[in-house]
Amino acid sequence: MGIDQLDGRIIVLLAREPRVGVLEMSRRLGVARGTVQARLDRLTSNGVIRGFGPDVDPAALGYPVTAFATLQIRQGQGPDVRAHLASVPEVLELHTTTGTGDMLCRLVARSNADLQRVIDRVVGFDGIVRASTAIVMENPVPLRIIPLVEQAAEERART
Amino acid sequence: MGIDQLDGRIIVLLAREPRVGVLEMSRRLGVARGTVQARLDRLTSNGVIRGFGPDVDPAALGYPVTAFATLQIRQGQGPDVRAHLASVPEVLELHTTTGTGDMLCRLVARSNADLQRVIDRVVGFDGIVRASTAIVMENPVPLRIIPLVEQAAEERART
DNA sequence: GTATTGCTGAACACCTTGCCCAGCGAATGC
DNA sequence: GCATTCGCTGGGCAAGGTGTTCAGCAATAC
């Protein structure tokens, strides 16, 4: 487990310029093409790189409102609630957290008014006891991984 | 704004098999290659597709613990707190939410014990009044976009 | 000392990409 | 009604990348 410096540089380069090919990467990194290919194969089969899925902006799709909802679940209703939430397209993400029956989910909606509809659909399910919602106003740090990758590569280097 | 059915099929196909090229996509979708290229160009310049960055799994990097922290910020300290949090690699994401001075951030750590170190670093900053943390136990719905894309394409189709 | 592992540099055929073009149907504007 | 514009089609072209394999070599492990 873990990545070395070359792995780190590959991931960072890939994150900054996803369009570069293997050959171009090998040129930029100063290593052989086969090396980059082997590293990439290893990183993907390792599970370090899950995939290269397109990063879609919900706002551009017509869903500019994001919110986080904390749900309190009745004991034993977890599986049902999960299935219910998974069936709602506006639920982008769902986590179960510490504490009895607590879940945290990320929602999107077409507008603040539409958010009410989404929340009603989300909480309108037997097994959800209580819900509290926080609407996102700004996103100063969008989901990122580069700093963590660099730190992981650095720490490995000191070994 | 918005996407039509072909756009939706392109995004979904791309999300399921990110490695396919433009030519292969055109074959699978039954349209001309130039069409797929034009749509992709439009989707990326539209901002619907932000990029194709590698999807890195923090757990495989050695950070298997995820948590969400809600922070209460002292009035006027917002910008400073943002800069501080942005400088912490373990902060993967930061949102400001409704309510006075509230922020929500996603953290990762090497272990539960390490999480304490991360939290100390995060909250050890003037301007953060209070923090409450929820540790993620399970992730029944990982970050997803396909259902929303399909819904957006469907709704557009009915126009 | 020997085997193993990982990187290098090169070669090969194959295929995709990026770009161009003319034609055509449908929607739009006059 | 008629002309224009727009998007999709299907084709062609040169250029370059990909997937794969190979031998050589250095560092490491046994």
- List, for residues B96-146, the tens digit of each pLDDT value: 999 877 999 999 999 999 999 999 999 999 999 999 999 999 999 999 999
With a 7 Å cutoff on the CB, does A18 touch strand D?
A: no
Give how far B147 is from chain A: nearest CA, Å: 5
Protein CA at A24 to nucleotide C1' at D17, angstroms: 9
Residue B92: phi and psi, rounded to 5, are -90, -20
pLDDT above 70: residue A159? no
Chain B residue with CA closest to A19: the answer is B52
Give how far B78 is from chain A: nearest CA, Å: 10
pLDDT above 60: residue A70? yes
Q: Determine whether domain A5-53 maps to CATH 1.10.3720.10.
A: no
Give how far B38 is from chain A: nearest CA, Å: 16
Cα–Cα distances (Å) from A124 to A46, A85, B56, in that order, read: 40, 11, 34
| A70 neighbors A131 (Cβ within 8 angstroms) | yes
Nearest to A68 by CA among A98, A50, A95: A95
| A135 neighbors B95 (Cβ within 8 angstroms) | no
| B65 neighbors B50 (Cβ within 8 angstroms) | no
Residue B155: what residue type?
A: E
Structure confidence at residue A104 (pLDDT): 97
pLDDT digits (tens, 9 = 90+) for A129-143: 999 999 999 999 999
Mean pLDDT of chain B: 93
pLDDT above 80: residue A157? no
Q: At what angle do helices B5-16 and B33-46 cross, to 10 degrees?
A: 90
Flag whether residue B18 sits within 8 Å of chain A, measured between CB atoms: yes
Structure confidence at residue B111 (pLDDT): 96
Nearest to A65 by CA among A139, A141, A144: A139
Protein CA at A112 to nucleotide C1' at D3, angstroms: 45
Mean pLDDT of chain A: 93
Protein CA at A146 to nucleotide C1' at C8, angstroms: 29
Average pLDDT of the residues in A58-66: 95
Q: Which residues of B touch A148 (CB under 8 A)?
A: 56, 58, 61, 63, 89-90, 92, 108
pLDDT above 80: residue B29? yes
Model confidence at A74, in pLDDT bands (50, 70, 90)?
very high
Strands A55-56 and A102-109: unpaired
Map residue A57 onto helix, strand or coil.
coil
With a 7 Å cutoff on the CB, does A37 touch strand C?
A: no
Flag whether residue A58 sits within 8 Å of chain B, measured between CB atoms: yes
Protein CA at A35 to nucleotide C1' at C10, angstroms: 14
Structure-token match 């700093």, residue found = A147
Q: Which of B's residues 5-44 have CB atoms within 7 A of nucleic strand D?
A: 6, 19, 30-35, 38-39
Model confidence at B158, in pLDDT bands (50, 70, 90)?
low
CATH architecture of residue range(s) A63-135: 2-Layer Sandwich (3.30)
Structure confidence at residue B65 (pLDDT): 97
Structure confidence at residue B155 (pLDDT): 80
Residue B147: phi and psi, rounded to 5, are -60, -35
Average pLDDT of the residues in A56-73: 95
Model confidence at A101, in pLDDT bands (50, 70, 90)?
confident
> For residue A27, what are the contacts with CB-CB under 8 A and spacing of at least 6?
none
Structure confidence at residue A99 (pLDDT): 81
Same fold? A5-53, A63-135: no
CATH class of B5-54: mainly alpha
pLDDT digits (tens, 9 = 90+) for A15-36: 999 989 999 999 999 999 999 9
DSSP states along B85-114: HHT-TTEEEEEEETTTTEEEEEEEESSHHH
Structure confidence at residue A59 (pLDDT): 95
Q: Give domain limits for chain A.
A: 5-53, 63-135
Average pLDDT of the residues in A60-82: 94
Average pLDDT of the residues in A56-65: 95
Structure confidence at residue B19 (pLDDT): 87
pLDDT digits (tens, 9 = 90+) for B47-97: 999 999 899 999 999 999 999 999 999 988 889 999 999 999 999 999 999
From A93, A138, A151, residue closest to B143, measured CB to CB: A93
Average pLDDT of the residues in A111-127: 95
> Would you tell me which residues 88-127 of chain B have a C-beta closer than 8 angstroms to some C-beta of chain A?
88-99, 102, 104-106, 108
Chain A residue with CA closest to B139: the answer is A95
| A81 neighbors A125 (Cβ within 8 angstroms) | yes
Structure confidence at residue B118 (pLDDT): 97
Where do the DSSP E strands lie in A62-127? Answer: 65-73, 91-97, 102-109
With a 7 Å cutoff on the CB, does B22 touch strand C?
A: yes
Q: Determine whether domain B58-135 maps to CATH 3.30.70.920.
A: yes
Q: Which residues of B touch A138 (CB under 8 A)?
A: 95-96
Average pLDDT of the residues in A73-93: 95
Structure-token match 């902006």, residue found = A57
Q: Which residues of B touch A63 (CB under 8 A)?
A: 148, 152
Q: What pTM does this model have?
A: 0.90
Average pLDDT of the residues in A80-103: 94
Average pLDDT of the residues in A141-150: 96
Strand partners of residue A106: A68, A93
